[in-house]
Amino acid sequence: MDHATEVFQPLQADDPPTVAGYRLAARLGAGGMGRVYLSHTQGGRPVAIKVIRPELADDPTFRRGFRREIKAAQRVRGAYTAELIDGDADGVPPWLATLYVPGPSLAEAVARRGPLPVPAVLWLMAGVAEALQAIHAAGIVHRDLKPSNVLLAADGPRVIDFGISLAAGITSHTATGATVGTPQFMAPEQASGGEVTTATDVFALGQTAAFAALGEPLYGDGNSVGVLYRIVHSEPDLSLLPAQLRPLMARCLAADPGERATPAEVVEWCRQRLGRDADAGAGPAVWREVMGPEVTVPSPVPHPTPVHTMPLLPQPQLQRRPQPRGPDERRPLGRRTRILLAVATVGALLAAGVAWTTLDVSDRLRDRNAAESSTSGSGDSERSSASSSASSSASGRSSGSGAGGRTSGGASSPSPTASGPPKAIAYPVLMLSATKPLDMKDPYRYAKADKDIKDTRSANERKADIRFVCRQTCALESDTSVINWVPSETPGATIESCRIALADAEHKLPLAIVAAGSEICFKQPSGDIGLFVVQVKSTVLPDIGFVSGDLTVWRRAA
């Protein structure tokens, strides 16, 4: 498979052909918030269209956050950021469009060619640091800077997805119980749930640059819990890095946020090391080597060709001759005149025939549509009448049972499937810990931290539906709900996936089998089904252990 095929994937059956007037040409990828497509402006410039997942789009809290993301992104103006050009948080579905960057992500470039040379890493750090300056100037902390969020264009890097914290409904500080980011590139204060500032992005910049220089994460790969533990409790091994980069990396990766370099200092340090190349603009030559073969962007999708009816044939205009004054003055028509008259006659007949055919077809279509509408209306009326009859009959039977013609439970409630499939309700950015269990009926009920942890833990263990417990091992458990995980290499579990997983589920799920990206399903006796997508799991220190992620609930879906 060539690189162009990997970048531009064909649209699938469930992809919309257009979004807010933008005709979609290909898929670019998918993430936790939704799918990303390639499209073009009216002038033909390629753009990336991010379309939000339906279950998130249905949540008013998410829409408010997404609206803030659009407004914040509009304030960011930098040479090394992907410019937002359009968006609508109230659209169906919500979407936004940024200029498309024709180049691979840093993660893709390193996977294809291996570690970058030192000059390329210096150019990378300078460009990303300048992007952070623009993002921070708009009052935004990126929170999720990583190799896949840095695209490599021909003239330098571009930082994308800097609105994630706002779309999640949180501010420049970490919201209670919320941890946003990717474990391998988190800062210590972010991994431990502390305050997140612009210095947090500088730590992620150091890790991203180290990945570019080494070809792998500085703190190692594998289980996210182990990675987070190393980030919080150990110093990074800078001896693995090229000697020229170690002093700057040490500043960026300082454990104390106050000791880290600022983005402006990173830019200046890199310019000094690049020397004359920085002033001579040698960056593009470096990027051409790193980017690999140029990828041809698919052409804009043409608008459908409009279907026109056959035009009526115009009647030829004959040259007027002077009318004769009397019968004796009539002259025989010439050959040319006879031919023109014949053509005019045929033209008139053809025009009349086409007009009649067009009107006849139009009348037939109108009659057919009217008949179908009448039939459909009659059918709907009959079905509605039958349904009402059945409901009335069922209601009569129910009310007629028991003493006095009433049931002990009152009026019967409608079937949950009577009005179609259950609706998904999204609850983004939730955290489960010893003091923050999960109540499926009100997922944000225990979101606020309490002062008396011991009393809160004891009370929550008695009342909560799904609890986070750490005894000999950490687990999720419940007295009423059943819990299971969806063992799949491809993310994207659905209500059907949960139904299958919950068919053989228990009231406890050990967290040893869970990692970032794992999908956990819950089912209550009431029939509510929940899908929890794990973002971060931290169980190394049980007293402060937690698991955070996004929850989707389908009410009365079992």
State the catalytic residues. 144
What pairing do the DSSP bridges indicate for beta strands 546-554 and 529-538?
antiparallel
Cβ pair 264, 199 in contact under 8 A: no
Reported in sequence order, the residue ranges of 59-160 that DSSP labels E, i.e. its strands, are 84-88, 95-99, 150-153, 156-159
Q: Which of 211, 205, 98, 228 is nearest to 142 (CA)?
A: 205
**Residue 457 amino acid letter:** R
d(CA 323, CA 390): 82
d(CA 147, CA 451): 39
Q: Which of 501, 469, 467, 466 is nearest to 484 (CA)?
A: 501
Report helix, strand and coil shares of the chain as percent, to nearest 5.
40, 15, 40
Other Cβ atoms less than 10 A from the Cβ of 238: the count is 16
d(CA 63, CA 59): 6
d(CA 344, CA 208): 79
Query: Between the CA of residue 225 and those of 91, 145, 188, what are the distances in Å?
Result: 38, 19, 13
- Structure token pair of residue 127: 């460009």
